[in-house]
């Protein structure tokens, strides 16, 4: 019987990206207000509807960007079974793609840590895969305690 272990991912990068997008939208709203005031000085017409339209579009673009960023960062799951690594990716509408990496295909496992990852306790694990004569790599992003995850991966993928 296969014992499936999920590699835990941190949500800190998704939270930081979401906050950055929110700040950009706020700056965009402030800038649009200034642009509308400048246009209002040159055009004697009433620009309140234009200002409202631009602000609504900015808010919608910001909300969609936050949603896509959050979904993209939270819908990927990594599982380790007795002799394989499973990468499960759920899309925006719930579709699932699944990659299964077996021990013969994954000879090289690399740990990559950024400055933020080092401070917040997460890292990226790169698994290089050999499919016959083709080489590719999979990046397991934002793994909590990546050193232990690599130890577990190497132990199970032997």
Domain boundaries, the chain: 1-158
- Using CA atoms, how far residue 1 sits from 22, 77, 85, 93, in Å, is 46, 21, 15, 32
pTM of the prediction?
0.72
- For residue 53, the SS3 value is helix
Q: What is the pLDDT of residue 95?
A: 63
Q: What is the pLDDT of residue 106?
A: 61
What is the second-level CATH architecture of the domain 1-158?
A: Roll (2.30)
Tokens 């305690």 correspond to what residue? 145
Q: What is the pLDDT of residue 97?
A: 65
Question: pLDDT tens string for the chain (158 positions)?
Answer: 468 888 888 888 888 888 888 888 888 888 877 877 787 777 777 777 877 888 888 889 888 888 888 787 778 888 888 778 888 887 666 667 677 777 666 668 889 988 988 888 899 998 887 766 677 788 888 999 999 988 888 887 77
């Amino acid at each position: 019987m296969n014992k499936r272990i999920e590699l835990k991912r941190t949500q800190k990068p998704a939270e930081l990206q979401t906050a950055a997008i929110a700040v950009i939208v706020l700056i965009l709203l402030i800038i649009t207000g200034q642009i509308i005031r400048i246009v209002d000085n040159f055009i004697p017409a009433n620009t309140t509807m234009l200002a409202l339209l631009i602000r609504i579009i900015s808010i919608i673009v910001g909300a969609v960007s936050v949603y896509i960023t959050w979904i993209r960062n939270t819908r990927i799951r990594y599982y380790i079974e007795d002799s394989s690594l499973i990468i499960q990716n759920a899309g925006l509408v719930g579709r699932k793609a699944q990659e299964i990496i077996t021990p013969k295909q994954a000879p090289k496992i690399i740990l990559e840590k950024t400055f933020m990852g080092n401070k917040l306790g997460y890292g990226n694990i790169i698994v290089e895969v050999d499919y016959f004569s083709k080489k590719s790599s999979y990046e397991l992003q934002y793994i909590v305690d990546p050193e232990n995850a690599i130890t577990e991966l190497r132990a199970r993928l032997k």
